[in-house]
Amino acid sequence: MAVGTIEHLAMLRALELARRGPAGINPQVGAVFLSPEGEVLAEGWHRGAGTPHAEIDALVRIAPDAAHGSTAVVTLEPCNHRGRTGPCAQALIDAGVARVVYALDDPGELSGGGADRLRAAGVDVVAGLAADEAALLVGPWLTATRLGRPEVTVKWAQSLDGRAAAHDGSSKWLTGPEARADVHRRRAEAAAILVGTGTLLADDPSLTARRGEVLYEHQPMPVVMGHRPVPSDAAVWRHPVSPAIYATHDVSAVLTDLHDRGVHSVFVEGGPTVASAFLAAGVVDRMLVYIAPLLVGGSRMALTDIGVGSLAQAQRLTVRERVVLGDDMLWVAQRDVGAQHEGGSS
Sheet containing strand 244-246, strands side by side = 244-246, 221-225, 192-196, 265-268, 151-159, 286-292, 328-335, 317-325
Q: How many angstroms separate the Cα of 307 from the Cα of each of 13, 28, 124, 270, 291?
A: 46, 37, 50, 18, 23
Per the DSSP assignment, residues forming a β-bridge with 152 are: 266
Residue type, 227: H
Q: Are the beta carbons of 267 and 193 closer than 8 angstroms?
A: yes
55 among known catalytic residues:
yes
Q: Are the beta carbons of 13 and 32 closer than 8 angstroms?
A: yes
Please give the full DSSP string across 159-181, using - where no structure is assigned: ETTSBSS-TTS--TTSS-HHHHH
Q: Are the beta carbons of 273 and 301 closer than 8 angstroms?
A: no
In the set 37, 39, 43, 55, the catalytic residue is: 55
Residue ranges of alpha helices (H) inside 85-242 are: 88-94, 114-120, 131-147, 177-188, 197-203
- Residue 174 CA to its chain's centroid (Å): 27
Task: Measure the CA–CA gap between 15 and 133, rounded to whole angstroms.
Answer: 8
Q: Are the beta carbons of 20 and 131 closer than 8 angstroms?
A: no
Output the CA torsion 11→145→187→204 (10° steps).
170
If you ran DSSP here, which 8-state letter would residue 56 be given? H
Which has the closest alpha carbon to 292: 165, 181, 166, 175?
A: 175
Which residues are marked as active site? 55
